[in-house]
Amino acid sequence: MSTRTPLMAGNWKMNLDWKQGLALVEELGEALANVDLSDVEVAVLPPFVDLRTVQTAIDAGKLPIALGAQDVSAHESGAYTGEISGAMLTALNCTYAAVGHSERRQYHGEDEAITNAKVKAALEAGLTPILCVGEPLEERKAGKHVEYTLAQLEGGLEGLSAEQAAKVVVAYEPVWAIGTGEVATPEDAQEVCHEIRELLRVQHGDQVADAVRVLYGGSVKSANVADIMAKDDVDGALVGGASLKAEEFAKIAGFRAA
Ligand code: 13P
């Protein structure tokens, strides 16, 4: 039995302005009141401009929801127009920052070097990076999904000490399963999540490999989450579309009741 606490993180992507974000987090707080959260952690990753409002609502309502950002700058501070630093996020009580999401890689040209720099910047600021990795459809069809994903993982974690690596959350998000409704089978998710853990084992030893949470992401819903979570190496989910509905996301958090 794993001692890792599952993490259900809702990536809102570029949805919901601050008023809508406020409504959703309040609704989510209510919906979670009916869920057994003794062994599961729930987080939301709103757009940057929603963070302050959402944080205030979480604090005021003492909601059992951790906060995270969808990205973080690789730089500490200064003349980087449009960027948001790790320190700005920790000042908002953020715990997490997603790094290297496939949409950042695809639409913003973020490569291994920038992803690696962002992982390090997040750790420096005291944030837990959620390092996203996963293969496009062509690589899956060619049977190269493990190789491709592990290369992204190696790149993202390059130069980290064992102590730093132990703090990272990894999210395996096959690109072909994101927003498509085409969820990976539990076996597909397990295969790659297991290989991710084994690479951590080779690089940093058992303690790190057994501590790091490896999430699955891609069309996760309340209807499919339990089967995916039943797999040994899957420690949670990074949820896009289904995290925009309070009841549905609360059901995902309560996957054990399904
Ligand atoms: P969907 O759950 O909408 O497929 O998105 C997954 C994702 O990209 C989460 O980061």
Per-residue pLDDT of 17-28, as tens digits, reads 999 999 999 999
pLDDT at residue 1 in the model: 54
The predicted-structure confidence for 187-215, as pLDDT tens digits, reads as follows 999 999 999 999 999 999 999 999 999 99
- For ligand 1, whether the C-beta of 131 sits within 6 Å is no
Catalytic status, residue 101: yes
Ligand 1 within 6 A of 220 CB? yes
Q: What is the DSSP string of the chain?
A: ---PPPEEEEE--S---HHHHHHHHHHHHHHHTTS--TT-EEEEE--GGGHHHHHHHHHHHT-S-EEEES---SSSSSS-TT---HHHHHTTT--EEEES-HHHHHHH---HHHHHHHHHHHHHTT-EEEEEE---HHHHHTT-HHHHHHHHHHHHHTT--HHHHTT-EEEE--GGGSSSS-PPPHHHHHHHHHHHHHHHHHHH-HHHHHHS-EEEESS--TTTHHHHHTSTT--EEEESGGGGSHHHHHHHHTGGG-
Minimal-distance CA residue to ligand 1 atom 5: 240
Does position 181 have pLDDT exceeding 90, yes or no?
no
- 100-145 pLDDT per residue, tens: 999 999 999 999 999 999 999 999 999 999 999 999 999 999 999 9
* Annotation marks residue 173 as catalytic: yes
pLDDT tens profile 30-74? 999 999 999 999 999 999 999 999 999 999 999 999 999 999 999
Ligand 1 atom closest to 221 (CA): 2
The pLDDT tens digits of the residues spanning 73-103 come to 999 999 999 999 999 999 999 999 999 999 9
Q: Which atom of ligand 1 is nearest to the CA of 220?
A: 2
Of 101, 110, 135, 204, catalytic: 101
In angstroms, what is the span from residue 10 Cα to ligand 1's centroid? 8
Verify whether ligand 1 is closer than 6 Å to residue 219 (CB atom).
Answer: yes
Give the Å distance between the CA of 13 and the centre of ligand 1.
8
